[in-house]
Amino acid sequence: MENFNLILTGVGGQGIITLLQVIDEAAAVEGYDVKSSELHGLSQRGGSVEAHIRFGKKVFSPMVSNGQADLIFALEAMEGLRESAKAGKQARLLVNEYTLPLVGAPTKEEIIKQLKAGKNALYMVPASADCKEKLQNDIVCTLYMVGYAVAKKLMPIKKESALQAIKNVIPQKYLELNIKAFELGHDK
């Protein structure tokens, strides 16, 4: 297999770093070489955040070049749309059907319409809404989306590996909730 290239995108505070840790770990559990790149600091304060993960036989650079992503994993729809401009034909878009308001931003309907009009395979999931409704916690939408991505084979990670990674990464206190979110997305 060629290296698998993943871009995570969302808004500071949505839990991108934990999501990255889980996927990194899952790739390592699968036996892949893995590298990732994240940004801290200023971006935490409600700005756009983007993190890259690459895994496969041998990875040098931790960054995904424009046009090279296999999967764009968007925790927020407008950030997903923004990122889609840099997506090559092969990229699949996994998008949380959720928008965070911003002055001057297009409406949710417009964003979704544009996402659908694009050429990339699109997977829209109501991750935030489902997690809020069924688990009373929407921060775990990240794990819901991992569950979904694994079930739909959007990334070459087996369910057992993902679950193992979650156990390795998530503190005991929050483990049950996170696994529930994962299963919820997996069974969607």
Partner 1 sequence: MKKILLGNEAIIQGSLAAGVSYVSGYPGCPSAEIGDDFAKIAAKYGVYVEWATNEKVGLESAIGASFSGLKTLVNMKSFGINVCSDSLLPLAYTGTKGAMVIVVADDPSCWSSAQTEQNSRAYSQFGHIPTLEPADPQECYDFTKLAFEISEKFKTPVILHTTTRVNHQKMPVIFEEVKTGNQFKKGEFIKNPHQFTTMPPRTLEMKKELLDKIKKIQAFTEKSKINEIDLGKGSVGIITSGVSYLHVKEALKVLKLDLPVLKLGFFYPLPEEKIKKFIKPLKKLLVVEELDNYFERELNVLTRIANAKLQIFGKNVLPVIGELNTEKVCVALAKVMGKKFLEFKIRNLKLEIPRRTARLCEGCPYWYVFPTLKRVAPNAIFTGDIGCNMIAGMSPHNIQDTLFSMGASLGIAHGVSKSTNQKVISIMGDGTFFHAGISPLLNAVYNKSKPLMIILDNRITAMTGHQQNPGMGKTLMGEDTTEVNIEEIAEACGVKNIKVLDPINMKELEGTVKEFLEKDEISLIICKRICALLERRQKKS
Which parts of this chain interact with partner 1 (CB under 8 A)? 11-12, 20-21, 24-25, 28, 33-48, 59-63, 65-68, 78-79, 81-82, 84-86, 88, 102-106, 110-111, 114, 117
Q: Which is nearer to partner 1, 132 or 188 (CB)?
A: 132
Distance CA 146, CA 154 (A): 9
Q: How far is the CB of 161 from partner 1 (least distance, A)?
A: 14
The first and second tokens of residue 108, run together, are 């949710």
Q: Which is nearer to partner 1, 1 or 117 (CB)?
A: 117
Q: Which is nearer to partner 1, 45 or 153 (CB)?
A: 45
Q: How far is the CB of 13 from partner 1 (least distance, A)?
A: 8
Nearest CA to 38 among 66, 67, 63, 4? 63
Nearest CA to 108 among 86, 81, 145? 81
Q: How far is the CB of 31 from partner 1 (least distance, A)?
A: 11
Which are the contacts of 167, defined by CB distance < 8 A and separation ≥ 6? 175
Task: Produce one character per residue of 80-93: b if its CB has 16 or more CB atoms within 10 Å, e if not.
Answer: bbebbebbeeebbb
Q: Which is nearer to partner 1, 24 or 130 (CB)?
A: 24
Q: CB-side exposure of 109: number of CA atoms within 13 Å?
A: 0
Q: How far is the CB of 39 from partner 1 (least distance, A)?
A: 5
Q: Which is nearer to partner 1, 67 or 160 (CB)?
A: 67
Q: How far is the CB of 181 from partner 1 (least distance, A)?
A: 19
Distance CA 176, CA 178 (A): 5
